[in-house]
Amino acid sequence: MKIALLGASGRMGRSILANAREDTAVEIVAAVVSPGSDSRGIDAGTLAGGAPLGVKCTSDLAAALATASVAIDVTQADQVANNAAACAAANVPLLVCTTGLSATTEQSLIAISRKVAVLVAPNTSIGVAVVRSLVRRAAQLLPDSFDIEIVEAHHKHKLDAPSGTAKALGEAAAAGRGVKLADVQVFDRAAQSARRAGEIGMASVRGGDIVGTHTVWFAGQGELVTISHQASDRGIFARGALRAAAWLAGRDPGQYSIDDVIGL
């Protein structure tokens, strides 16, 4: 399965390159970097800190997609819409692992999914997918008197807050309660510290090299239920992305999720 990797020079991109070397089912055929990147012309394997792969980093997106059976996008959020349009034009399925997508970009991905298969997965960890399912079920089973709070922590260089995974966990909790997250979410309690019934709060911590930690609290009277996931190795996301990309290649146009990949 031939992959065009968009955003090869970033943390996630380099991790995917390193892990793809150990996966005999996949082949990196293109590594795309931004036009102004110092990585242009460098072998993708060397970029990832390993032996050369024979694939030079390029900023020519159209050429990169020409031989690919699927694309993985780990670029910045403001680049995703243009990358998706290029994938649609080249008839290449697209896995988007970027977080912090705008509403406009999300709508463009929905439109493009009518032409090619699109899977948006801010977090490709299998463990996180299972946690999301558990959170939804817990929200269904526990009484509304249990307050829901989500706390996430990441490294100091992460750009968006709360994380895409925290929002996905919030969506799962809201679905379990039968409400829309947009109607009950609270990101900042600085202006209003008192908690209102039914809220789903989210708090973010940024520091050091934390790979990613997410904990969902169901706080009741006299008891606290927590569901948590901690990532200690960025490789789990890379391996999950490669698995999802392999699953997505050859799929009919449409919108897919990581749940489809693992059969939840």
Residue 192 pLDDT: 66
Which CATH number characterizes residue 82's domain?
3.40.50.720
Q: Mean pLDDT over all residues of the chain?
A: 94
Same domain for 14 and 63? Answer: yes
Question: pTM of the full predicted structure?
Answer: 0.82
Q: What is the pLDDT of residues 4-25, one digit of tens each?
A: 999 999 989 999 999 998 888 8
Both 225 and 240 in one domain: the answer is no
Predicted confidence (pLDDT) at residue 124 exceeds the cutoff of 70: yes
Note every long-range contact of 21-28, with CB atoms under 8 Å and residues 24 or more positions apart, other chains counting: 21/45, 21/48, 21/50, 21/51, 21/53, 23/239, 23/242, 25/1, 25/246, 26/1, 26/2, 26/242, 26/245, 26/246, 27/1, 27/2, 27/3, 28/3, 28/53, 28/55
From the list 154, 167, 214, 229, the catalytic residue is 154
127, pLDDT greater than 70: yes
Claim to verify: residue 114 and residue 21 sit in the same structural domain: yes
CATH number reported for the structural domain that contains residue 213 in this entry: 3.30.360.10
Regarding whether 190 and 154 lie in a shared domain, the answer is: yes
Element (H, E) at 107: helix 103-112
249 has pLDDT over 70: yes
Contacts of 47 (CB under 8 A, 6+ apart): 8, 9, 14, 17, 31, 39, 57
Q: Are residues 88 and 29 in the same domain?
A: yes
104 & 144 share domain: no
CA 209 to chain centre: 18
What would the pLDDT profile of 192-230 be if each residue is shown by its tens digit? 677 888 999 999 999 999 999 999 999 999 999 999 999
Residues 186 and 144 in one domain: yes
Q: What percent of the chain has pLDDT over 70?
A: 99
Stretch 140-158: mean pLDDT:
96
Tell me if residue 178 falls in helix, strand or coil. Answer: coil
- Same structural domain, 72 and 134: no
Domain ranges, residue 115: 2-120+235-262
Residue 167 has what pLDDT? 93
Q: Which residue has the tokens 């948006």?
A: 120
- My answer on whether 90 and 166 are in the same domain is no
Q: Are residues 116 and 140 in the same domain?
A: no
pLDDT at 191: 67
The model's pLDDT over 59-112, given as tens digits with 9 standing for 90+, comes to 999 999 999 999 999 999 999 999 999 999 999 999 999 988 999 999 999 999
Count of the separate structural domains present in the chain: 2
Active site (annotated) includes residue 158 = yes
Among 155, 156, 158, 167, the one annotated catalytic: 158
On whether both 10 and 84 belong to a single domain, the answer is yes
167 an active-site residue? no
Instruction: Identify whether residues 116 and 246 lie together within a single domain.
Output: yes
